[in-house]
Structure 1
C-alpha cells in the first residue's frame, strides 16, 4: 500500500516529488496559535520560545518543542496546532457577529480559532464521537470560549433542525489523513485506496448536510488534511454539480499552491498545502450559496432572571453575562441567547458557571477560565513555583479575603481556590491536574536555557 500511495504522490507532484519524500523523514512541524484577546504578541514573544511566524494565520508561530505544560497554554492563551491547520479558518474569514457552524469540530483547534473572532455572534460545533466531543469541550473551556453550543451526534439532524441559519459553515471533514503520516505511523500502514474512496463518500454526505444549514449568501469552507484528489477536488466537483447555486470563491491567500485540474470545479480557487509549503498537509475550498432563504436561530424563551442566582454569581464576577440558564441545578451563562434544540444531543451551551447544592451555588472551574482577570472579584497572582504547586493540587498560603479566588499567572486566570482568609484551598479538578513527574516550571526553564 505504501508503494501505491507514493506512486500516486509522484504522479501528483511531479518535479516536487523528491522534496516531498525527503519531507517524510524530517521532523514534524509544530505550531501554536495565540488568542490576541488574552495575550499580546509582544507578551507572547517575551515569554514563549517561538520560531518564525507561520504564513497561514497572523496569530500563528512555529515552535520546536512540546509546550503543553507552559503556563500560558494551561491558562488558555494559546492552542498547540499543526501550522497549516489554521489555514481553513483564516480563509473562512469569520466576522464578530457571524453565526458559525463547525460540523466536525474535535479536538477544537478550528473551533477555538473561530471563537476568537466572535463578539455578538455564536459558534455551534458538533462532533460525532462522544469521547472526542469531551476533548473538544475541555479545549473550549480551557480557551475561555463563552458563546457556544456543543452538540454530539450525526450531522444530518442538526443541519435539518438549523436549516438556512448560518452565515459561515466549516466542514473540516474526516479523511484518510495522508497529511498526518509523519505524526501517526499507523496512517501509512493502514492507508488503502478503498479507505480513500470510503472517506470521499462520507465527505459528500457531510457537505450535503452543511449545504442545508447554510443561509442564502452564506460561506462554506471545506477542508481536509489529506492529499488525495478523490477526497478533495473530486468531492468539490460532485458537490457543485449537485448544488448548482453554490459557487467557488477565491480563497484570497498567499500561502500554499493551487489545486489539481478537475472537471466540474476551478482548481485555481482551492488551496493545497504540502510539507514543502510549511505545513504537514491541508486542502481548503471556499464556496458561497447564492440561492435559498435566511432563517433566524431558534431561541429559548427563558424565565424571568433569577435574582438569587445573579446575587450568587455577583460574589465572584463583576459583570454577569446577559443570559442565565438554570437547568437541573446547573447554571450556564453567555451573552448570546440560548438555542432551543430538540433533535440533537446538546452537551453544553455557554459557560458552566456553577451547580446549586441545596441552597448554595458551588462555582465551576470553567467560570474561572472564561473571563479576564479584571472581571473577577477576588484574584491571586501566583509565581511559577506556586502555579506548579497548584497544578498538583496543593493549597496556597495567602492573606486574601474569604471567598472563591481566581488563580492567575501573569494576569491570565487558569482556575480557582477557596480562601478562608489565611489559605486558599485548591479547587483545580483532579482530572486537570498535572501528573507527579510533570511540572509547569520545567517548560520555563527550557525557554531560559
Structure 2
C-alpha cells in the first residue's frame, strides 16, 4: 500500500485511522442487489446463500462468495454489487414517475437499481467509453430494462440536448478509486496526487454538464468510490461556488458518517462510508436545483405500430404501447421514444427482434424483459436443463412448436425454438457458459 496514501488517510481519519488500517487486511465486502419486480425476498432467501441484509439498500444483502453462475444472476433477478455502491441510489430517492439521468452509468449496477424503482418514468443511461457502454447494455438487458435509452458519448452533448429535462441526475463520477484498492490492483498501482488532481478536474467538468440537464426543483446526487478530499468535499465546494442556485440536501440516512470539514460546503450534509462501516468506500452528496427551467423530454415521431403489434401477438400477451422500427429492427416500450439530434443513442427500449429475409427473428432481450405470465409460451427448466441450455445445447422437451421462453423457478432467462419434441437453443453465444463452468445455487 502506498505510504503517501496511508499518511494522508492518517491525517484525515485521526483517531479512526487504526481501525481503517486494520480494515485493509480484511477481505473485501461482497453484496448483491435484487430486483423486487422479478423476485421476492422470500424466494431469494430460500434459494441463495445470503448473509445479513445490506445497511445501504432496502433490496440488498451481504454475501461471502461468488454467485456469477447462480441461476438467478443469469436470469437478472439480482446484480452483484459491492454493498456501499448501492447507497447513492438510496439517497437519490427515485420516484416511480421520475425522468432520471445516470450520467456515468457503466457497468450498470446503479442504473439497474433505478430501473427497478421506476413505473411510468424513464431512464437515460450514458457512458463515455464505447466498450464499457456495450457491457452496460448487456447488463441492462439481463436486468429486464424496458423504459430506458442508452447513450454513448461526452456528457456535454447529452446534457445540452436534454437540458432541464430530469427530475433526478446521478453523477457516479470516474475517480481515483481509493475505495477499490482491495479489489483492483490498478487502483493501487495508479495512485498518485497527480491522478487525484486530474480526476478532480474531470469531475468539475462532468458536474457542470449534469447541472444543465437537471430541471428546477430536481435533485442531483454526486458520488465517488474514493476517499480523497480533493475529489469529494473540495469538488462539491467548488461546484456550489460556480452554481449558487444549487443547495445541499440532508441525505436522511443512518449509515456512514459525516464528511470532512471543508470551507464552502456543509460536511453534515454528505455521507462518507469507510470499511469500518461495512462498505469498501463511498462519498455521497445530494443537492437540489432551486432555479432554472422545466422542460419535457423531446418525443420522436414514429410510424403506427400495427405491423409490430401483429408480429408480437405471437409472443406476448400484453404488448407495450410504443414501437419504433429502425431498418429491420423493432424496439418496444411503454414510454414514448426520445428524439435525439446530436447524441449517439445505442439503444432505446427493448430490442424485440429483426426482420431477416422478411421473416421475424425475435431477440434475446425480448425474452428477458417481462414476467413469465406475459409470454404466450414458456417452459420451466430445472438446474440441469438450464446448465445444458447455458452451454448452447438443445434439450428434449415435449411442448408446442415455436419460440418458447426458458424459465427457472418462474423467472425468464432466454428462449429457444421447439419442434414439438426438443427445443433448439437461441441463447446468444456471448452469454453462454464456458465448458468447465456450470449453473449452481451453491451449498447453503
Per the TM superposition, whether the score is higher than 0.5 is: yes
Does residue 326 of structure 2 align to residue 327 of structure 1? yes
Corresponding position of 1:426? 425
Alignment of 1:266-285 (within 5 A): 266-285=266-285
Q: CA deviation at 1:304?
A: 1.8
Give the Cα–Cα distance (whole angstroms) in 2 for the partners of residues 337 and 180 of structure 1: 39
CA deviation string 1:286-315 (max 9, x = no partner)? 00000001001000011122x332111110
Shift of 1:409: 0.1
Partner of 1:154: 154
2:443 to 438, 442, 447: 447
Unaligned runs of 5+ in 2: none
What is the number of residues matched between the two proteins?
Answer: 444
Which residue of 1 is the match for residue 397 of structure 2?
398
1:74-113 CA deviation, whole Å, 9 max, x = no partner?
A: 0000000000000000000000000000000000000000
1:359 maps to which residue?
358
Q: Which residue of 2 aligns with 1:259?
A: 259
Correspondence for 2:349: 350
1:204-283 alignment to 2 at 5 Å?
204-283=204-283
Instruction: State the secondary structure of the residue aligned to 1:116.
Output: helix
> Aligned residue for 1:26?
26
> Structure 2 matches for 1:106-125, cutoff 5 A?
106-125=106-125
In the TM superposition, residue 339 of structure 1 has moved relative to its aligned partner by 0.2
- State the alpha-carbon separation in 2 of the partners of residues 196 and 338 from structure 1: 39
Distance 1:318 1:40 in 2: 23
Q: Whole-Å Cα distance in 2 between the matches of residues 308 and 247 of structure 1?
A: 49
2:403 is paired with a residue whose SS is strand
Q: Provide TM-score, normalisation by structure 1.
A: 0.98
Residue 358 of structure 1: CA displacement?
A: 2.1
The Cα of 1:3 is off from its aligned counterpart by 1.0
Distance 2:392 2:107 in 1: 26
Structure 1: 5+ residue runs without aligned partners? none
Q: Answer with 391-400 or 376-385: which moved more.
A: 391-400
Paired with 1:193 and 1:92, the residues of 2 have a C-alpha distance of: 30
Q: Whole-Å Cα distance in 1 between the matches of residues 90 and 9 of structure 2? A: 27
Give 3-state SS (helix, strand or coil) of 2:198's partner. helix
Separation in structure 1 between the aligned mates of residue 185 and residue 400 of structure 2, nearest angstrom? 53
- Per the normalisation by structure 2, the TM-score is 0.99
Query: Aligned Cα RMSD in Å?
Result: 0.8
The reply on whether 1:53 has 2:53 as its aligned counterpart is yes
Partner of 2:164: 164
Q: Which residue of 2 aligns with 1:309?
A: 308
- Shift of residue 190, structure 1, vs aligned partner: 1.6
- 2:117 match: secondary structure: coil
C-alpha separation between the residues in 2 aligned to 1:335 and 1:272?
Answer: 37
CA shift for structure 1 position 447: 2.0
Cα distance in 2 for residues equivalent to 1:121 and 1:342: 22
Instruction: Quote the offset at 1:232 in angstroms.
Output: 0.2
Alpha-carbon distance, 1:175 to partner: 0.2
Secondary structure, counterpart of 1:157 in structure 2 = helix
SS in 2 for 1:257: coil
Instruction: Name the residue aligned to 2:126.
Output: 126
Partner of 1:35: 35
Shift of residue 438, structure 1, vs aligned partner: 0.1
Distance in 1, matches of 2:307 and 2:299, equals: 24
Name 2:335's counterpart in structure 1. 336
CA distance in 2, matches of 1:304, 1:391: 37
Match of 1:438 in 2: 437
Task: Give 1:186 deviation, angstroms.
Answer: 2.3
Deviation readout 1:301-333 (Å, 9 max, x if unpaired): 11122x332111110111100001010110000
Q: Partner of 2:216: helix, strand, or coil? A: strand
Alpha-carbon separation, structure 2, partners of 1:303 and 1:156: 30
Q: How far apart, CA to CA, are the structure 1 residues paired with 2:443 and 2:46?
A: 10
